[in-house]
Amino acid sequence: MEPPIADGVINRGAPVAIHAQISEQIRNRIAHGEWPAHYRLKSEPELAADLGVSRGTVRRALATLIEEGLLRQVRGRGTFVTSMTFEPSIAQRLSTLSEDFASQGVLFDTTVLTHGLVTPPQPVAALLDLPALGSVFHLDRLRSTAGEPVTLLSNFVRADVVPGIEEFDFSELSLFGVLEGHFGLKIGTARRTFSAESATAEVAEALQLPVGAPVQYLQQVTYLTDGRPIEYSDVWIHSERLKVTSLLSRR
């Protein structure tokens, strides 16, 4: 049998309400990593029986922690310890980080560091099937949440396919949004590759990490439905703030 929820016992004579004692004990378990992110709590009736309290008291204790963001309830699945990092499914779906943030209700800021038409590095030109002397729209952006930098993105888009793209304000608009919404492009597929890298001076400064710190690196080539490559990107992710997550099925 699993031990009761708390190491401490409930003190019915204490001046602290019982539901608040339970909240505090759960808070401690989470803080000490004993209940890690994604841990599924027992059901409310089981917790109530373990603790010898009413189900209403348990529910009130959990409600406090849900309000604090430490727990979340998923209909039909139970109550889970919240992950303190963002967990976008960008390895599993061809959604963009901004779409994943938006669907999770995460507020973020975008700072445009570079934007304009340039001659791309040769490997990028090759992957984009670019004609000689062809130019690309180059866009460097920093995404932050709650004032903390989370990702540094560097995109190269074939300029011949999207004339005038340099006029858009990408601190307000998303790149895929402009490609699909304004230019009517049909984005088909992408290859995304994930690896661990050491932060260069430039990446370290942007993400506020020490030079050489491990960063999650994502390289992407995006293709239109007609097979033409349209976009190449390098993305560096602050791994303590954002973890790429896939929920997978065996069959």
Closest distance between a second copy and the C-beta of residue 199, in Å? 9
CA atoms within 13 A on the CB side of 68: 15
Binding residue (CB under 8 A) for a second copy from 9, 11, 14, 36: 36
Q: Residue 80 in contact with residue 71, Cβ under 8 Å?
A: yes
Check binding of 191 to a second copy (CB under 8 A). Answer: yes
Q: According to the binding rule CB under 8 A, does residue 6 interact with a second copy?
A: no
Least CB distance from residue 17 to a second copy, whole Å? Answer: 26
The position carrying tokens 């130019």 is 135
Determine, following the binding rule CB under 8 A, whether residue 91 of this chain makes contact with a second copy: yes
Backbone angles phi, psi at 37, to 5 degrees: -50, 140
The tokens of 33 are what? 């990593």
Nearer to a second copy, 62 or 215 (CB): 215
Query: Please, are residues 86 and 107 in contact by the beta-carbon 8 Å criterion?
Result: no
Interaction between residue 170 and a second copy (CB under 8 A): no
Estimate to the nearest angstrom the gap between the alpha carbon of 89 and the chain centroid. 8
CB of 15 to a second copy, least distance (A): 31
The piece of 10-18, 27-35, 67-75, 166-174 that touches a second copy (CB under 8 A) is 27-35
Question: Nearer to a second copy by C-beta: 61 or 125?
Answer: 125
Task: Tell me the window of 62-70, 84-92, 107-115, 150-158 that interacts with a second copy (CB under 8 A).
Answer: 84-92
b/e 46-55 (16+ beta carbons within 10 angstroms → b): ebbebbebee
Distance from C-alpha of 4 to C-alpha of 102, rounded to nearest angstrom: 39
Region binding a second copy by CB under 8 A among candidate stretches 10-18, 20-28, 144-152, 211-219: 211-219
Interaction of residue 35 with a second copy, rule CB under 8 A: yes
Find the distance separating the first CA and the last CA of the chain, reported in whole Å.
33
State yes or no: residue 244 binds a second copy (CB under 8 A).
yes
Task: Answer whether 181's CB lies under 8 Å from 146's CB.
Answer: no
> How far is it, in rounded angstroms, from Cα 150 to Cα 142?
8
Site residues for a second copy per CB under 8 A:
1-3, 33-36, 38-40, 87, 91-94, 122-123, 126-127, 129, 131-132, 187-198, 212-217, 221, 237, 239-240, 243-250
